[in-house]
Structures are given as C-alpha cells and as structure tokens.
Amino acid sequence: MKLVVATRNQKKLMELQELLADMPVTLLSIAEFPDAPDVEETGSTFAANAELKAVSAAAATGLVALGDDSGLEVDALDGQPGVMSKRFAGPDATDRDKYRLILHLLSEIPDEERTARFRAAVAVALPDGTVTVVEGKCEGVIAREPSGSGGFGYDPVFFIPSLGKTMAELTSDEKHAVSHRGEALRKAASALRSVLSNFPL
C-alpha cells in the first residue's frame, strides 16, 4: 500500500519511515509528484497546518496522505517560535542558525526558566477530504550549548532532563519512544491502519 507524505524534508521522511516500519506501507514523498502544489502553512496551529498539507497531498495524488507539522515552544519567549519554528530565523536559515538564535534570545534566562516543549500534529487524509488529526508533545528545557549530531532542527539544544541528553544525542529508538512526533504517530497508527485496510491501493 502506498502512502504519500506531505514533506520534501528527507530527514523527516526517514524518521517517519522508521516510525511506521511495522506497517505494510510504502512511503512516497510529495516531491515525487511534480504537479502537486506547494502548501502555504497559513494555519495558526500545528494541527491546522498538518491538515492543510495532508488534504492537499491526498487531493493532488489520489492516495491516502499523511501531513505533519511540528515545532518548538519556549516558555520564556511566550511560546515562540511555535508555528513559525521553520522560519523563525528567516526563510533561508540553516538548522544551526535557528537554534543559535534561540540560544542568543535566552542568553540571560536562568536555567529554571528555560522550560520548553516540542509539539507535533499528524493528519491522515483521504482523497475525498476525510481527515483525522492527532497531536503529541515532549517536555524539556533549552540547553546552554548544542550537543549531539543526530536529529535535525532544534534537537541539539533541546535537553530532556529525565534522559540526561539532548534530543540530538538520542538513538533513533530512544527518540521515537519520547518524541512529540513519535507520540502523535502512535496515536495516528490505529486510524491509519483502519484507513489503509479499507482503501485499496
């Protein structure tokens, strides 16, 4: 069975492939469909953006589609960068640019006030517009310096006290067990299995 994922981010696609490895699906990136439109992330929440992407991908390809949106919320920054996580440091910013900006903004913030969380929303959409959206989160704090070479985005500065590591220092299995995206996908799994069993591909 084929499932199109509404992302062109290869690292994210690889992570999703690992998370859905036990399901009888072949994941296709939306990049494999050149006529599929780019979706503007105009939603005010992660759930809204995930739904926008999944519905558009399903309509464009005629396949069941999975869309997700995720980001970092920092309490000392009033929840920023939030839905602007990808664009917080500018449209052409690298991952390093993004987390370095967060470290700069928090440079005078004491350790006890550096609480943050990753949030993720996952939407599963059918070509007829039917959509299911679920969410997950992972609590942590913003480290003083980046550490670790795994993951992407803000992972090197997102420290998980219960594990004593940043998200970028976790193995794939450790990350999937605690991550916001892992939690959201586990919630979506039963809905996805039901959809795929009733949708011939």
User: Which residues carry out catalysis?
Assistant: 69
Count the Cβ atoms, other than its own, within 10 Å of residue 176: 18
| DSSP conformational letter for 8 | -
DSSP-H helix ranges across 6-94? 10-19, 46-61
List Cα–Cα distances, 36 to 10, 48, 99, 125, 168, in angstroms: 17, 19, 31, 15, 32
Distance CA 118, CA 136 (A): 8
Amino acid code (one letter) for 97:
D
Whether 171 contacts 192, CB under 8 Å: no
Amino acid code (one letter) for 128:
D
Structure tokens at 57: 């991908």
Distance CA 151, CA 168 (A): 5
| DSSP conformational letter for 24 | S
